[in-house]
Structure 1
Amino acid sequence: MKQYRIDGAEVHGISDLYEQFNRELMAEEDWRLGSSLDGFNDILYRVDGEIREGDPATFVWIDHAHSRDALGFDETQRWLHNKLSQPNSFNQQRIHSDLDDLQNGRGKTYFELILEIFADHPLIELQLR
C-alpha cells in the first residue's frame, strides 16, 4: 500500500501545501503541480486509477490542525483577491461571490476545499491526525 504523508506543520500557506503534494505525488514526474484545485483533483484521479489496479493508497495528514489554520480565512481571502487581480483568467463575478460568502461566514476555506476534493475520491483514504 502506498502511503502519502502531508506534514501539516510545514504548511504555512497554499504554496507550501503544493510543495508537499509535489514531494509526495510528483517525485517520478518531470513537471510540477501548480497551486490549482483542478490540477490537484486531476492528480487524485491518477491515484484512483492506481488503486483500481490494485495499489491502495492512504494520505496521512499529520498536524492537520496547523494546516487548517494556515489555509483558513486569511489565506483563502488572499487567494481570492489574487484571482481578482487576474480578470482575464478567472470569472470575476464568481470570485466576488465566493469572497462575499467567505466574509459572511458562508464560504469555504482553502482547507475545506481540499477536503472536499479528497471526499470526491472515496477510494483514497485520508487520515487527519
Structure 2
Amino acid sequence: MLNSDKNKTICINGSHFSDLTGFYEEVSGVLMKDVDWEVGTLDGFDDILYGGFGVFENNEKIELIWKESEKSKDDLGISATKDFYEKKIKQGKPFNVELIQQKLDQLVSGKGQTLFEILIEIIESHKNITLILK
C-alpha cells in the first residue's frame, strides 16, 4: 500500500491484541510476513524496524499507522508494565534486576515509561518511520 508521497504504509491494529505478547504477534504478522522469525522482545522489535528482512528494506521510508492506539495505550499501560518488570525481577538472570527494579520504582512513582511509551520511543528512534496514532 502506498501513500501520496510514495512511502510504504503499514498498519498495526490495537484491536487485534491486548498485551505485549499479542503486540509481538501482531507486528510479527504485519512486518515479518513470509519470514520464519517472530518478534518476542523489545530489542527484537527494535531490530525489525531497521528493515532489510520482512516487508520493507533498510532505511526505506515507511508510514506506520497504529490503529486503536488509545486501546493499546490502556492495554500496555501502568498495570501491564508493572507486571512486565515484576516477572523479569522474579526470573532474575539474565536480567539486570537492579536496573529493572529502578525502572519499576520510577513507574510506580509516576516518572517511568509504560510499555506503550517504550514502544512509541522505539518506533520514533527510526528516522525512516513516520508513526501515525489513530
With structure 1 as the length reference, what TM-score do the two structures score? 0.90
Q: 1:19-53 deviations in whole A, cap 9, x for unaligned?
A: 1101111112112111x111111111126x8264x
Structure 1: distance between partners of 2:29 and 2:9: 13
| SS of equivalent residue, structure 1 residue 33 | coil
Aligned residues: 125
Mapped contact 2:11–2:67 kept (Cα < 8 A): yes
For 2:126, the equivalent position in structure 1 comes to 121
Amino acid at match of 1:14: L
For 2:29, the equivalent position in structure 1 comes to 23
4+ residue stretches of structure 1 with deviation over 6 A? none
Amino acid at match of 2:35: E
For 2:114, the equivalent position in structure 1 comes to 109
**1:10 Cα offset (Å):** 2.1
Higher helix share: 1
Identity of aligned residues (%): 35
Extract unaligned runs of 5+ from structure 2. Answer: 1-6
Amino acid at match of 2:37: W
| SS of equivalent residue, structure 1 residue 31 | coil
Mapped contact 1:80–1:99 kept (Cα < 8 A): yes
For 2:61, the equivalent position in structure 1 comes to 56
Structure 2: distance between partners of 1:33 and 1:108: 21
Extract unaligned runs of 5+ from structure 1. Answer: none
Structure 1: distance between partners of 2:133 and 2:70: 9
Amino acid at match of 2:27: F
Root mean square deviation, CA, Å: 1.5
For 1:2, the equivalent position in structure 2 comes to 8
For 1:84, the equivalent position in structure 2 comes to 89
